[in-house]
Amino acid sequence: MTLLPILLVAVVLVFAIVRPRGLPEIVIAGPAAVVVLLTGVVTLDEAREELTSMAPTVVFLVAVLVLAHAADALGVFRWVSQILEQKSLADPHRLLIYVFGAAALTTAVLSLDATVVLLTPAVIAAARSIGASPRPHSYASAHLSNSASTLLPVSNLTNLIAFAATGLTFLHFTALMALPWVVTIAVEYLIFRLFFRSELVRSENTEPPASKTSSPAPSLPLAVIGLTLVGFAVSGFFGIEPAWIAVVGASVLGAIALARHRTTAAKMLYAADLWFCAFVLVLGIIVAGVANGPVGEWIAQILPGDTSYGSLLFVAVVAALASNLVNNLPATLLMIAALGTGAPPGLVLAMLIGVNLG
């Protein structure tokens, strides 16, 4: 029985990576959660508590996926691609700088999914339009979707889970994570600049792209996204979960996209990826089985309880290793359970940095 939850987590994660015949993750995660419950590894009360704690996170996930889809349908990412092309002046290195900025901001505000699925194609299009290799720019966009997701509580699912455990306000969380966020992006930029130096040289025969008629900025969608971000920032003062702010933003932007015939209800439902959201819910139950067992107890024993520099670094390293072994979401759930209720916010944030960078 000790090895059962570990085996189930392994099977679920392998299935999620391989996705045989394109089947959703819930196909295996659902039965695995049932097995965990039937064998008593996780009690019904524990499962109910896990689902209750994860529900706001999943609601947020649904809302932000719809928000990002509506933004894309209303031309936000086409406009971003156009801006990247214009600002680059046909210089691959200059384009990389702007890609870093766009990817960091998109990840922070619209979450990593928007960066991977929506911004990266726009980045590739901008690179190709100036005759540059899209490789360094697309890699930067994809990589920053994880490493640049530490700034806001809403930038990543793991952030939301950790945010609830810290007891911090939205603005306090953001202020504490701002320096690690900036340092991470700066270090990554230097690494990319060095590693891709041969592909970031401007060709002598390359001329800046001919002047094109600029499409106007999608001001209304950008305003809705901006107001949603403001809502996130002030939500803590009114005791409102960020998830409900995201629901309002997604509803407004979705309604605009529908009214302008830029999308359909079916496309918005597909963008919400409800099967994946269900997977996130039941994954919490499966990981709880590991957290309740010897592995969870061992991790809890080795983790420090103080916030000295050495302790913070140790927690971050353990979290990074766990993230590499089992992916960032289950690693976050496992680490938060190991840190325990009432853990110092500094330890939780150190864990989050390790998970996101790992």
Binning the chain into helix, strand and coil, the percentages to the nearest 5 are 80, 0, 20
Query: Is pLDDT at 210 greater than 60 in this prediction?
Result: no
The label of the residue with tokens 């060709």 reads 203
Question: For the residues of 22-48, what is the DSSP string, one character each?
Answer: G--THHHHHHHHHHHHHTTSS-HHHHH
Grade residue 24 by pLDDT with cuts at 50, 70 and 90.
very high
Task: Give the rounded distance of the alpha carbon of 333 from its chain centre.
Answer: 15
Q: What angle do CA 320, 326, 331 make, to 5 degrees?
A: 55
**Torsion angle of the four alpha carbons 281, 286, 289, 291, in this order, in degrees rounded to the nearest 10:** -70
- Residues 231 and 224: their CA atoms lie apart, in Å, by 10
pLDDT of residue 258: 98
Reported as a single tens digit per residue, the pLDDT across 115-137 is 999 999 999 999 999 999 999 99
261: Cα separation from own chain's centroid: 29
216 phi and psi angles, rounded to 5 deg: -65, 150
pLDDT exceeds cutoff 90 at 204: no
How is residue 155 annotated by DSSP? S
At 268-278, the pLDDT tens digits run 999 999 999 99
Q: How much is the pLDDT for 127?
A: 93
Q: Which two tokens stand for residue 172?
A: 């306090």
Amino acid found at 298: W
Q: What is the mean pLDDT of the chain?
A: 92
